[in-house]
Structure 1
Amino acid sequence: MSTNTLTFEGCNFFRQRLVLSTLSGKTVKIRKIRSTDDNPGLRDFEASFIRLLDKLTNGSKIIVSETGTSVLYQPGLLTGGSIEHDCSTQRSLGYYIEGLLLLAPFTKRPIKAILRGVTNDKIDPSVDSIKLSTFPVLKRFLGTDEGLELKVTRRGAAPDGGGEVVFCCPCRQKLRPIQFTEAGKVKRIRGVAWATRVSPSITNRIVEATRGVLNQFLPDIYIYTDHRKGGQSGKSPGFGLTLVAETLNGAFLCAESASNEKGSADGPTVSEDLGRDTAKLLLEEIYRGGCVDSSNQSMAALFMVLGQQDVSKIQTGTLSSYTIQFLRDIRDFFQVQFKVDVQKHGVEEGEGEGLQEGADKLLLTCVGVGFTNVSKPVL
C-alpha cells in the first residue's frame, strides 16, 4: 500500500471521505465499518454511492472486504457525462446529489445524471432545497448558472420512493475565489409545499399555517404548491414543505420538513403543525445567520479550498458538527487550515455576557490550493 493512503475508522462521514479522496487523488482506506453491530458492514445506500462514484470516474479501484467492514478506494479520473443510477431508498436523492455537486465542476464532460429513488425524506436535503439554496452558492464559485439544472420529473416520498430527477451541471477549468462577508437583511421568502398520493387540500393547509407565522415578520411571501398524482406521484403517500429566505446581498437560507412515513411509530403528521414548525425552523436559520445556511457550509468550505491561490472569506452562523468534521478531513486531504474569527453581534467587545448562544457569526478565511481541472484546457 502506498504511503499516500489515508486510513479512517467507522462509518461516519463515509461519503465525504470518498469525495475528498476522488478530488485529491489520494487512496483512502476505511476500516471497522459497523464492526460491532449485529448487522456489520456497508449499508445499501453506501454501496449505492460507491457504484455512483464508479460510474462517474474512469479507472477507480474499489476493494470491499467479504464482511463489508473495510473499503479500499483508489480514485480514478473524473469523467462525468451522461449517467443513470437507481439510488437506494434508505436515503433520499439529496444524499447522492450533494456528493455529485462537490465533484461536478471538475469532470471531463458536463454531468447529466438521471437519478431514481426518494426525492423527499426527513434526513437529507430534498431536491427542492438543493435547487433553492445550494445552487445559488455553487453559482458564486462557477461564475454562472448556465447548464445548472435540477428537474423533478417524478416525486417519490419515503419509504418506497419512486421519484426521478434530472441533474445537470457544467464543468470548469478552475473555481473563482469568494468574498462573501455580509448576508444583509431578509427581503423575501419563497417555498414549495409538495404532496404525493394525498388530498390536494393538504398543500393549501400547509401554506395557510406557514403564512400565519411568517406574515408577522414579512409581507413578501410566496409558496408554490406542487401536488403530484398518478404516475408522477411515486409509490408512497407523503407531503412536506421547503422554505428559503433570500437576503438583500443574495444569501439563501433554507429550512424544510417532511411528513412521517406511512406506518411510522410517531403516527401521522398534521399538515398545519408541519407548516408552523417549518416556519419556525426557517426563523431559527435566519437567526443563526451567515451567508450560507447550515446544510451548505461544507460545500462552500471545500470550494474555497479548491479555488485559485487567492484569499477566500465567507461568513457563517454556528458550524454544524458535520462541517466541523469536514474541515478536519479537508486538512488531512489538502493540508489546508481555515482561520476562524468569531464576530460578536449586538454587543461591544468585552461585553459578551447575556449574549444568546448562537447569535455569534463566524468568518472563515483560507487560501485556495489553486486546484485545476486536468481535463479542461485553459481558455
Structure 2
Amino acid sequence: MILIDGSYLEGGGQIIRTSIALSAITGKPVKIENIRAKRRVPGLRAQHLKGIEATAELCDAELKNAKIGSTSIEFIPKKVKGGSLSINVGTAGSICLVLQTLVLPSLHAEKEVVLEIIGGTDVKWSPTMNYFKHIFSYFLSKMGIEIFVETLKYGFYPKGGGKVKVTIKTCKEIKPINLIERGEMEKMDVRSIASELLRKRKVAERQTEGSKKILKFENEIISYVPSLSPGSSINAHAHFENCKLGASELGERGKLAEKVGEEAAKSLVKQIDSNACLDEWMADQILPYMALAGNSKVSVAEVTNHVRTNIWVIEKFLPVKFEIDETNKIISCQKI
C-alpha cells in the first residue's frame, strides 16, 4: 500500500484528488494521512468525499474511514468499470474539483464514462466549468483524450444547484506532448456569464467592458443564465498556434462588475507575458497525464507549490521522473 502524507507542501485537497485518481488507474491501494492538516478546518470536506466515493463506485474500491472530517483514509481499488454515474456534490461544492478526481481513472475504464454532476459550476478556489471545457479539455485533446462537456445549469455560491453532463471516452494510449513554443497569437475571446437575477444591472456586459479596458477581444460572448443564487463569472482566453491560455474571475458582492472583468484581463496579460504554453492553473493539472504518456515537456507560466506537490504524489505511483528547469520554467517528464 502506498502511503501519502496529506500535509506535504501545499497540503490541500489536490493531494487527495491526485492520489485517489492514480490509485484507481494503477490499481495500487493508497493510504492518505494528515489530510488537509494545515487548513483551518482539517480533514475531508464534502466535495473531497464525493469525489472519493464516486471514484470508488467507478472501480468497486473498498473505502476505509471515508467520512467528513476524516484525516486518514484508505482506498483499495479494483478494475475501473465505466458506465453512467450521478453525483450530487451538495450546495455549491465544486463540480470541477470532483471531475479532477474522475477524469483520469475514466480513461482506463472498460467502457466510456458518462457523469451527471450537481453542485457549483463557478465557485471560489476552483476552475470554472468554462475553464474546464475550453482550456483543460483542449490540452487533453492534444494528448488524444476526448471529453465532451454540457453545462445544463449554472450554480453559484451559496446554493449551487448547477448541473453538468460530462462524457469521457476511454483512452488506453495517451499521446506525449511537447509544448515549448506557442507560436503566433491568433485571437482572444471573453465569455461573461451572469445570473438572470443580475440582468437588470447589466452585470455580464459590465464585466466585459471592464476586461476591454485592458485587452482587445475579437469575440465577446455574453450570457444570462437561470440559477438558484445570484452570481457571475468571466473567462478570458488567448489562442495561439500551438496552445491556449485562460484566466477566470468570479463576481462578488460589493465588487464592481467592471473590476471583475478588469482583473480577469490583467490575469490573462500575466499569462501572456510569461511566454509559456500553459497558464499557471493548467501547469499542475496536466502533470498526471504527462506521466501516463511519458516523455513529455511543457513550458509553464509559473512553477507553483501545486506543481511541486503533484509531482511528488505522481512519482510515488508511476515509474517516471520529472525535472523542472527553474530558469525557463520548463517541466519535463521521462519514464524510468
The TM-score with structure 2 as length reference comes to 0.90
CA distance in structure 2 between the aligned counterparts of 1:90 and 1:238, rounded to whole angstroms = 12
Which deviates more from structure 2 when the two are superposed, residues 323-332 or residues 197-206? Answer: 197-206
What one-letter code is carried by the residue in structure 2 that aligns with 1:257? E
What one-letter code is carried by the residue in structure 1 that aligns with 2:178? Q
Q: Alpha-carbon deviation of 1:110?
A: 0.9
**Percent of aligned pairs with the same amino acid:** 22
| Native 8 Å contact 1:45 1:90 kept in 2 | no
- Give CA deviations for 1:106-157 in whole Å, capped at 9, x if unaligned: 22111111111111012100100111111111001116x4xx3111111111
Determine the structure 2 residue equivalent to 1:112.
Answer: 114
What one-letter code is carried by the residue in structure 2 that aligns with 1:188? K
CA distance in structure 2 between the aligned counterparts of 1:183 and 1:269, rounded to whole angstroms = 34
| Native 8 Å contact 1:22 1:76 kept in 2 | yes
- Classify 1:56/1:135 alpha carbon distance in 2 versus 1 (closer, same or farther; 3 Å): same
RMSD: 2.3
Matched positions, count: 328
Determine the structure 1 residue equivalent to 2:151.
Answer: 152
Determine the structure 1 residue equivalent to 2:97.
Answer: 95
Say which of 228, 234, 238 aligns to 1:235: 228
- Contiguous gaps of at least 5 residues in structure 1: 261-266, 343-359, 370-379
- Classify 1:103/1:38 alpha carbon distance in 2 versus 1 (closer, same or farther; 3 Å): closer
What one-letter code is carried by the residue in structure 2 that aligns with 1:314? V
1:361 equivalent to 2:334? Answer: no
- Classify 1:108/1:116 alpha carbon distance in 2 versus 1 (closer, same or farther; 3 Å): same
- Classify 1:81/1:289 alpha carbon distance in 2 versus 1 (closer, same or farther; 3 Å): farther
- Give CA deviations for 1:155-177 in whole Å, capped at 9, x if unaligned: 11111101101111211121112
- Give CA deviations for 1:175-217 in whole Å, capped at 9, x if unaligned: 11222221123221112100112125211111122112102xx
CA distance in structure 2 between the aligned counterparts of 1:55 and 1:103, rounded to whole angstroms = 11
| Native 8 Å contact 2:6 2:16 kept in 1 | no
Determine the structure 2 residue equivalent to 1:258.
Answer: 250
CA distance in structure 1 between the aligned counterparts of 2:37 and 2:314, rounded to whole angstroms = 26
What one-letter code is carried by the residue in structure 1 that aligns with 2:3? L
Determine the structure 2 residue equivalent to 1:223.
Answer: 220
What one-letter code is carried by the residue in structure 2 that aligns with 1:245? A
| Native 8 Å contact 2:46 2:93 kept in 1 | no
Say which of 279, 284, 290 aligns to 1:304: 290
1:319 equivalent to 2:303? Answer: yes
The TM-score with structure 1 as length reference comes to 0.80
Say which of 122, 137, 154 aligns to 1:135: 137
What one-letter code is carried by the residue in structure 1 that aligns with 2:207? I
Determine the structure 1 residue equivalent to 2:52.
Answer: 50
Q: Alpha-carbon deviation of 1:306?
A: 0.7
- Give CA deviations for 1:70-100 in whole Å, capped at 9, x if unaligned: 2111122212211111013353211112222
Say which of 256, 260, 274 aligns to 1:274: 260
- Classify 1:243/1:39 alpha carbon distance in 2 versus 1 (closer, same or farther; 3 Å): closer
| Native 8 Å contact 1:177 1:368 kept in 2 | no
Determine the structure 2 residue equivalent to 1:78.
Answer: 80
| Native 8 Å contact 1:89 1:161 kept in 2 | yes
CA distance in structure 2 between the aligned counterparts of 1:36 and 1:280, rounded to whole angstroms = 30
1:166 equivalent to 2:165? Answer: yes
Q: Helix, strand or coil: the match of 1:337?
A: strand
Q: Alpha-carbon deviation of 1:248?
A: 2.1
Query: Considering only CA atoms, is the larger Rg found in Structure 1 or Structure 2?
Result: 1
1:176 equivalent to 2:155? Answer: no
Q: Helix, strand or coil: the match of 2:157?
A: coil
Q: Alpha-carbon deviation of 1:61?
A: 0.8
| Native 8 Å contact 2:188 2:219 kept in 1 | yes
- Classify 1:272/1:35 alpha carbon distance in 2 versus 1 (closer, same or farther; 3 Å): closer
CA distance in structure 2 between the aligned counterparts of 1:37 and 1:291, rounded to whole angstroms = 32
CA distance in structure 1 between the aligned counterparts of 2:180 and 2:80, rounded to whole angstroms = 32
- Classify 1:130/1:9 alpha carbon distance in 2 versus 1 (closer, same or farther; 3 Å): closer
1:8 equivalent to 2:10? Answer: no
